[in-house]
Structures are given as structure tokens and as C-alpha cells.
Structure 1
Amino acid sequence: MSKEFTVSQVQEHNSKTSVWIIIHNDVYDVSSFLNEHPGGEEVLLEQAGKDASENFEDVGHSSDARELMVKYKIGTLVASERKPEIRKKADPASWGENTDSSQSSFKSWILPIALGLLATVVYRVYFMS
């Protein structure tokens, strides 16, 4: 079983000597990774003691980076303080999932068809008369 931490416990680790961050409800001790981080230690120090999930995803880390994270994981947040997971639309892992697909697929093809019909009408009006 994984060790559980509270957000306040993670917040205590916000100095250069002890850097803990939260990513997707998991707690990581990245203190020993500061000098190795490709983006520089400042990036990690800015997130020390905080939930860095959004920033982590915004950067678009590779699968190699995600695999490397495993060695720095020290636990998870206690259940009462976990945030619900929300996958980004651009997340390839969520492609093909059936999440309100009938409405989203309708929206994804209606605009191109409408533009095609409009272009056809404009073409016929101006070039066929």
C-alpha cells in the first residue's frame, strides 16, 4: 500500500533541500532530480509544495519523462484531498473514448459540411450565372 500524505504535509516541502510536488494526486520527492531536470531546477522549485498537475500537462512531457517519474513517487494524497481526474482533450490516451461522443462527433462534422454547402452556393451564384 502506498503511503498517504495531506496537502499541508506536501506544502512543508518547498525549499531547495526538500522539494515535493503533487501530480495527479500522486506525491513526488524531486529533491534529488533538481540538477537533472531538463527545464532547470527553477521550474521544479516554483512548484515545490504545490499541485503541479496542470503545469506538468501543459508542458507536454514525453512518455520517457512519465516513466522516469515512477522512481520519485513517494505516495499519494489522502482520499479526502484528492482532486477528480480530468483528461485533456489533446490527451492521446483519451482518444476513442466514448464520452458524449454523439454530440461531439456531430459538432466535428457539421461545420465542415455547412462551409462546403455555403461554398457551393456562392460558387454557383457567382460563376454559373
Structure 2
Amino acid sequence: MAEEKKVLKFDEVAKHNVAKDCWLIISNKVYDLTPFMDEHPGGDEVLLAATGKDATNDFEDVGHSNSAREMMAQYYVGDIDESTVPVKRTYIPPVQGVKSPNTGSDIVVKILQFAVPILILGLAFAVRHFTKSKDQ
């Protein structure tokens, strides 16, 4: 007798949205990618950004290889109940108290968020200074 496929509701899948518990919906199938988080060539941030929605377009846009598609079978959990998937993505906050470690890219982003406005302000003062000196 064939095994019955597990059908999951979107709300249940959407709860799995942190690095230590990450599920994605791709082509109406649900995958538990938690064990793959450290191995994913694009980093865990890419996978986490695709939680809480149908990630099919995200997956297809990247152009994954055939071997990557074959690898997905080992992470298969079940099928998604399509009627429960919202048309528009709603924000699902991560579970409080569970944080991924900072990566190098996180630090670079924080530095840029601080440095860019200062550089723009400095540039504005320099332009003002030089245009004022020419007028005099």
C-alpha cells in the first residue's frame, strides 16, 4: 500500500523561520532545510529570507543545478495545502531569543549604515566650502 503524502498548512510551515528550524515551500512541496543551512552556497540569510512565503520564484530565479534539485528529495517533509498559502506575503517575526550568529556581511552592513551618511555629509560640506570660495 502506498504511503499517504503529508499535507501541511501554511501557518504551520511559516513557524519554521529561524536558522535552527528552517522550512521552505518550493513548487507546492515543503522542505526542512535546517540541516543544510551551513552548507548552502548562498548562505543561510538567503534561505531565511524565503521563509513565510512560497519560495518557488526565489528558487527558480537563482537557476539551481540538477544536482541541487535532486538533493532536495532528502529534505522533503510533505506537500503544502495550496488553499492556505496567502497570495501576498505577510511578515512573520522570528522567534524571540533565537538569533543567528553575526556574519561578516552583517558587520559590513552596519558599518556602511553608519559611514555612508557621514561621508555624504562630509561631501556636502566640501562642496559648500569650495563653491563659497569661488564666489568670493
Please indicate, yes or no, whether the TM-score normalized by the shorter chain is above 0.5.
yes
TM-score normalised by length of structure 1: 0.60
1:9 aligns with 2:12: yes
Which of 43, 50, 54 is the matching residue for 1:51?
54
- Residue 61 of structure 1 corresponds to 64
- Residue 40 of structure 1 corresponds to 43
1:8 and 1:45, CA in 2 relative to 1: closer, same or farther beyond 3 A?
A: same
- Residue 75 of structure 2 corresponds to 72
Which of 15, 22, 30 is the matching residue for 1:19?
22
CA-based RMSD: 1.7
Name the CA distance, whole Å, in 1 between partners of 2:82 and 2:55.
18
Contact 1:13–1:19, Cα closer than 8 Å, also in 2: yes
TM-score normalised by length of structure 2: 0.57
* Identity between Structure 1 and Structure 2 (%): 47
**1:1-41 C-alpha deviation (Å, 9 max, x unpaired):** 22110011111111121101100100000011000101111
Aligned residues: 83
Could you tell me which runs of 5 or more consecutive residues in structure 2 were left unpaired when the two chains were aligned: 87-136
Could you tell me which runs of 5 or more consecutive residues in structure 1 were left unpaired when the two chains were aligned: 84-129
